Amino acid sequence: HATGPVLEVNNIEVVYNKTVQALRGLSLAVPRGQIVALLGSNGAGKSTTLKAISRLLELEDGTLEAGRIAFDGQDTAQLAPQQLVRRGLSHVMEGRRVFEDLTVEDNLIASTYALSGRAGAPKPDFDLVYEYFPRLHERRRGLAGYLSGGEQQMLAIGRALIAQPTLMLLDEPSLGLSPKLTEDIFSIIARINAERGTSMLLVEQNATVALAVAHSGYIMENGKIVIDGSAERLASDPDVREFYLGTG
């Protein structure tokens, strides 16, 4: 498997509450070591795609009705979310979900329980997190609730990074952040990719910043992919520019 795409999503359909069809035959691939942007307007189904991949759909009464998802060449249908984490897939959910009443370090510890005591699971790497996010090291004894929005986003990414993932799913890391903080976060994301070879599937509203770090991208509408291509091609495509970059 070491040569094929790290992630292959084939023709998936997702339905919520047995009524709302959110994905309608969606296919995409993440080549090993690359950053792939998943773009599209509100409600297109970007978050749903990530939840289908990390198998968190069931928590929201969503079901994968058809299609196939392969992580590292293996069908994920029979795997629990924690098993996927142990195999190297980490999902940073939208909205910086951190435990506000725990310290920064305890937030990191809490995210290692899926790994603990399991043969073959990666060792939690606190130094790795603090290397990329020195600010979290400075604030490690402070409560996560007192961190700024940007620092909470760093902690959310750190909680995923501690498991030494081969694939990270990132849901709107720029949400609610200033342009400067967004730039800081994206340059760290690009460094993690370049230095560690971590593959990434990056969901973003902000297409401009996403395409600046991504190798390739997909644009979704109504539960399926409508355009795909290299990041350069998407960034210069007139339709993409008009509808998603606001520069048409």
- Does position 158 interact with ligand ATP (CB under 6 A)? The reply is no
Binding residue for ligand ATP, selected from 22, 161, 225, 234, defined by CB under 6 A:
22
Residues 6+ positions from 208 with CB-CB distance below 8 Å = 235, 245
Q: Which residues within the stretch 173-232 sit at the binding site for ligand ATP (CB under 6 A)?
A: none
Binding residue for ligand ATP, selected from 7, 9, 28, 44, defined by CB under 6 A:
44
Distance of CA 45 to CAs 8, 13, 20, 105, Å? 17, 11, 11, 33
8 Å CB contact between 27 and 205: no
Residues 6+ positions from 81 with CB-CB distance below 8 Å = 54, 55, 56
Q: How far is the CB of 215 from ligand ATP (least distance, A)?
A: 21
Cα 164 from chain centroid (whole Å): 14
Distance of CA 130 to CAs 65, 89, 116, 245, Å? 40, 20, 20, 34
- Does position 48 interact with ligand ATP (CB under 6 A)? The reply is yes
Dihedral of CA atoms 119, 96, 151, 90 in degrees, nearest 10, equals: 30
Query: Which range touches ligand ATP (CB under 6 A), out of 15-23, 75-83, 180-188, 191-199?
Result: 15-23
Task: Print the binding letters for residues 69-108 with ligand ATP: x by CB under 6 A, - otherwise.
Answer: ----------------------------------------
Q: How far is the CB of 49 from ligand ATP (least distance, A)?
A: 7
Q: How far apart are CA 168 and CA 30, in angstroms?
A: 11
Query: Which range touches ligand ATP (CB under 6 A), out of 38-46, 70-78, 97-105, 234-242?
Result: 38-46
Binding residue for ligand ATP, selected from 15, 36, 46, 235, defined by CB under 6 A:
46
Contact set with ligand ATP (CB under 6 A): 16-17, 20, 22, 40, 42-48, 60
